[in-house]
Structure 1
Amino acid sequence: MNTPAPTRDEPAEHARFAAHLRDLARATGPEETAVVARVLGDPDRTMARSAVLRHLDRRATDLHPGPEFEAWADAMTGVVGGDPFLTRRLLEWSLIRVVVLERPWRPGDLLESSDWLQLKAAATSNAEVVQLLAERGRTKRIRRTARLNRAWPGDR
């Protein structure tokens, strides 16, 4: 990692964050887990977690519909396993995958998930998921997104 020197107006952690994002964007294949682990070792835990979260979301967005997602998610879980928030995000990406691919899922898992996941699921094409979230989504925004996705008359 080539961490740029901070400028007079930029704190050191901002320069490290930008460098972490660049390193993570380039990391694929076998070196990806090592880069994620190195970033998580940054002394600023909040900043490191934020950089890794962006990376997980970016990679999962690309991978979740395909067969390579499961191996990738397992590898990432092995690296972030000590962080409950990042582990949960990976689990929620696994639930999104199941929903999008219309594989069996449990309503309780979806209803107990984060607002982030419910909002993402409300925008899918899975009619059963959309109906559940239109009726029982945690927030008004989630319920409205699901209703609009269903294009229910009178809800626009």
Structure 2
Amino acid sequence: MNVHDILQNPDEHVRFAAYLDKLEHVADANEVSLVSRVLSDPDQTMAQSAVLRHLDRRAAGLYPGPAYEGWAQAMTQATIDHPFLAQRLREWSLFRAVTLKLPWQPEDLLASSNWLQLKTAAGTNSEAIEILAKAGRTKRIRNTATIGHNHRSES
């Protein structure tokens, strides 16, 4: 089933599942084109949700390696008209910087979404964890960071 056939199905649940399947199996060379096609679906909430899952899955697998940078740039172009998706990509890049101990700014982390703060609070960067233990946006984030910080102190 190609994307044109998927778009013809009136059931957004069927389209969502079909998009996820296509995105999971897309060749790297066709990924930008497929993401753009999915984002052309009239049901923008569903389309962006499918692409978000794809971005999270791909970024989780790519962020530690050198291929991440080029992929993130390509995906940023494909999602440029979708602020939430573009923000998620920026946050994956910040997560990458924090995790790999590349340069990053504490104020960027503190201004980030609950999703990124919680993901970072459960991570391994002591500096980021200390920042989030003191100033994370929610009690859950601060608690997760405090537990991680205390666990590291005991080790």
Q: Which residue of 2 aligns with 1:52?
A: 51
Greater percentage in helix = 2
Residue matched to 1:149: 148
Instruction: Kindly state the Cα deviation for residue 28 of structure 1 after the two structures are TM-superposed.
Output: 3.2
Q: Which residue of 1 aligns with 2:95?
A: 96
Across the two proteins, how many residue pairs are aligned to each other?
A: 149
* Cα distance between partner residues in 2 of 1:76 and 1:152: 36
In structure 1, the partner of 2:40 is 41
Residue 126 (structure 2) aligns with = 127
Rounded to whole Å, the distance in 2 between the matches of 1:42 and 1:107 is 37
Q: 1:3 aligns with which of 1, 6, 9?
A: 6
Cα deviation digits, residues 48-104 of structure 1 (max 9, x gap): 000000000000000011110000000000100011100000000000000000112
| Letter matched to residue 81 of structure 1 | I
The CA RMSD over aligned residues, in Å, is 1.8
CA distance in 2, matches of 1:128, 1:3: 46
Q: Which residue identity does 1:39 align to in structure 2?
A: V
Pair 1:24 & 2:23 matched = yes
| TM-score, length-scaled by structure 2 | 0.91
Task: Note the residue ranges of structure 1 that are not aligned, 5 or more in a row.
Answer: none
Give the Cα–Cα distance (whole angstroms) in 2 for the partners of residues 51 and 5 of structure 1. Answer: 17
In structure 1, what is the Cα distance between the partners aligned to 2:27 and 2:70? 13
Deviation at 1:149, TM superposition (A): 1.1
Aligned counterparts of 2:73 and 2:39: Cα–Cα separation in 1: 17
**Displacement of 1:3 after TM fit?**
3.5
TM-score where L is the length of structure 1: 0.91
Q: Distance in 1 between matches of 2:151 and 2:53?
A: 33
- 1:129 is aligned with what amino acid? A
What CA deviation, in whole Å up to 9, does each residue of 1:95-128 have, x standing for no partner? 0000000112111000000000000110111000
CA contact (8 A) 1:133 1:142 kept: yes
